[in-house]
Amino acid sequence: MKITSIIAIYGLFWVMSAFFVLPFGVRTHEELGAPKVPGQADSAPGNFSPRRIIKRATILSTLLFAFYYLNYVNGWITVADLDITTYLSH
């Protein structure tokens, strides 16, 4: 696998992981007991922390990419394994 492919696939895993971890641990101002700014949406986060999200997304994407790369090298699950038409014809 080329280094450019590794970077591109890792980037996809990172973005997917960032969207996955984004809602975890976020609390609204009401849940935190903090005052709201006039005109603020009730659902706006009161403890948004980009560094925490970046750290969590990096850890998760590294783990997911490691499993992906190990499967790529060792061939544990192949395209033939995912072909459900062979199972339906029996």
Domain ranges of the chain: 3-88
Residue showing tokens 């973005």: 15
How high is the pLDDT of residue 90?
A: 65
- Tokens at residue 89, please? 């014809």
- Model confidence, pTM: 0.82
DSSP letters for 6-57: HHHHHHHHHHHHHHHHTTTT--BHHHHTPPPPTT--TT-BSS--HHHHHHHH
Q: Looking at 19-28, 43-52, 79-88, which range is the least confident one?
A: 79-88
